[in-house]
Structure 1
Amino acid sequence: MNTAVSPDAATLKLLWHDAEPREVRLREIISERLAAKPPPLLDDSIVATYFFAFRTQRLERAVEEISYHATIGIKHPPPGSLLEQCAARPAGVEAFDSTGRLGLLHVAFPLKMMLQPDGHLTSCDILHTVAGAIIFDVYENQDARLIALQIPEKVLRTFPGPAYGPLGVRKRTNFPPGQPAFGTILKPTAGITPEQVGALVEEVAGCPLFLFVKEDEDLYPKLDYSPVKDRARLAAAAIERAKEKRAGRGLIFAPHISGAPHEILESVHAVLEAGASGVMFSESFAGGTVRMVREATKRLQEPPAIYGHNAGIGVRSRAIYREVIDLLARLDGIDFRQTAPVRPGTPFLLPYGREWQASEEVLIRPVPGINPTMIVRAGALDQGNIGLNLADAERRAISEKVLFLAGSAINSIKNGKGKADPQLGAEAMTQALEVHRSGELRDVPMAQHLGELVRLADRKELKPLREALRQRYPKEAA
Structure 2
Amino acid sequence: MDQHPYIGQPFLKREAVEKRILFSVNKGRAYRGKAVETTYYLTAKSKRKAPEFQGVEDAIRMMLIHGTTELWPGPEKEPSAYKKHMSWLKEIKFLGINRKKKIERALITISTPLRFFDTLPNRIPLAQLRMATQSEPFNGFCDFTARVVDYKFPEEFKDKFLGQIWPHKRIRRYLKIGKDEPIIGTIVKPKWLPPEIFARRVSQAAISGALFVKSDENLHLTKKELAEYVSLTVKMLKKNGFDLSSTPKAGKKRLLFAPHITANPSDILEYAKIAVDHGANCLMFSPHFSGDFEIIREIYAMGEKYRVPIYTHTAGMNRCCGDPSYSSGDDPRVVYLLAALSGAAFMQLPALRGYVRPTDVEKKPIIDRLKQENLIGNDGMTLVIAGGLGAHNIGYNIKILGLQGKMFLAGTAIFHHPDGVRAGIDAIKLAVEAADKGIIEVPQLKKYAESLGKKGAPLLRALKGK
What TM-score comes out, normalization by structure 1 length?
A: 0.80
Give the CA deviation at 1:73: 5.3
Give the CA deviation at 1:461: 0.7
Query: Residues 119, 89 of structure 1: CA spacing in aligned structure 2 closer, same or farther, 3 A cutoff?
Result: farther
Give the CA deviation at 1:166: 1.1
Structure 1 residues not aligned, in runs of 5+? 1-19, 416-420
Query: Residues 31, 328 of structure 1: CA spacing in aligned structure 2 closer, same or farther, 3 A cutoff?
Result: farther
1:362 pairs, out of 338, 363, 369, with: 369
Aligned to 1:384: 392
Query: Residues 88, 244 of structure 1: CA spacing in aligned structure 2 closer, same or farther, 3 A cutoff?
Result: closer
Q: Deviations over 1:76-130 (max 9, x none)?
A: 6877722210111111122334799431221110001122352643322211110
Aligned to 2:91: 92
Alignment of 1:300 with 2:308, yes or no, is no
Q: Deviations over 1:196-246 (max 9, x none)?
A: 221111111213x3221100011012177xx11111112222222233799
In structure 1, C-alpha distance between the alignment counterparts of 2:358 and 2:83, rounded to whole Å: 40
Query: Residues 73, 32 of structure 1: CA spacing in aligned structure 2 closer, same or farther, 3 A cutoff?
Result: closer
Q: Is the 8 A contact 1:260 1:286 kept in 2?
A: yes
1:455-466 aligned at under 5 Å gives the runs 455-463=447-455, 465-466=456-457
Aligned to 1:4: none
1:22-421 aligned at under 5 Å gives the runs 22=3, 24-29=4-9, 44-55=34-45, 56=47, 57-72=54-69, 75=72, 81-97=80-96, 101-116=104-119, 118=121, 120-141=123-144, 143-190=145-192, 192-207=193-208, 209-222=209-222, 227-243=225-241, 248-288=252-292, 290-298=293-301, 299-301=303-305, 303-317=307-321, 318=323, 319-343=329-353, 347-367=354-374, 372-394=380-402, 399-415=403-419, 421=420
Aligned to 1:426: 425
Q: Secondary structure at the match of 1:51?
A: strand
Query: Residues 75, 51 of structure 1: CA spacing in aligned structure 2 closer, same or farther, 3 A cutoff?
Result: farther
Give the CA deviation at 1:256: 0.7
Q: Percent of aligned positions with the same letter in both sequences? A: 23
Query: Residues 223, 472 of structure 1: CA spacing in aligned structure 2 closer, same or farther, 3 A cutoff?
Result: farther
Q: Is the 8 A contact 2:337 2:370 kept in 1?
A: yes
Q: Is the 8 A contact 1:205 1:238 kept in 2?
A: no
Q: Is the 8 A contact 1:383 1:469 kept in 2?
A: no
In structure 2, C-alpha distance between the alignment counterparts of 1:294 and 1:120, rounded to whole Å: 9
1:446-461 aligned at under 5 Å gives the runs 449-461=441-453
In structure 1, C-alpha distance between the alignment counterparts of 2:129 and 2:320, rounded to whole Å: 15
Q: What do you get for the CA RMSD once the two structures are aligned? A: 3.0
Q: Secondary structure at the match of 1:21?
A: coil
Q: Deviations over 1:314-342 (max 9, x none)?
A: 11013210001111122222111111223
In structure 2, C-alpha distance between the alignment counterparts of 1:32 and 1:422, rounded to whole Å: 54
Give the CA deviation at 1:361: 3.2
Q: Secondary structure at the match of 1:339?
A: strand
In structure 1, C-alpha distance between the alignment counterparts of 2:435 and 2:147, rounded to whole Å: 40
In structure 2, C-alpha distance between the alignment counterparts of 1:296 and 1:229, rounded to whole Å: 17
Structure 2 residues not aligned, in runs of 5+? 19-31, 48-53, 244-249, 324-328
Q: Secondary structure at the match of 1:237?
A: helix
In structure 2, C-alpha distance between the alignment counterparts of 1:130 and 1:167, rounded to whole Å: 34
Give the partner amino acid of 1:325. V
In structure 1, C-alpha distance between the alignment counterparts of 2:11 and 2:426, rounded to whole Å: 42
Query: Residues 240, 434 of structure 1: CA spacing in aligned structure 2 closer, same or farther, 3 A cutoff?
Result: same
Q: Is the 8 A contact 2:242 2:255 kept in 1?
A: no
Give the CA deviation at 1:467: 4.1
Give the partner amino acid of 2:2. P
In structure 2, C-alpha distance between the alignment counterparts of 1:282 and 1:275, rounded to whole Å: 21
Q: Is the 8 A contact 1:50 1:145 kept in 2?
A: yes
In structure 1, C-alpha distance between the alignment counterparts of 2:253 and 2:11, rounded to whole Å: 41
Aligned to 1:15: none
Give the CA deviation at 1:368: 8.6
Q: Secondary structure at the match of 2:315?
A: coil
Aligned to 2:51: none
Give the CA deviation at 1:436: 3.1
Give the partner amino acid of 2:388. A
In structure 1, C-alpha distance between the alignment counterparts of 2:201 and 2:128, rounded to whole Å: 41
In structure 2, C-alpha distance between the alignment counterparts of 1:73 and 1:32, rounded to whole Å: 30
Give the partner amino acid of 1:327. L
Q: Secondary structure at the match of 1:202?
A: helix
Give the partner amino acid of 1:205. A
Query: Residues 186, 144 of structure 1: CA spacing in aligned structure 2 closer, same or farther, 3 A cutoff?
Result: same
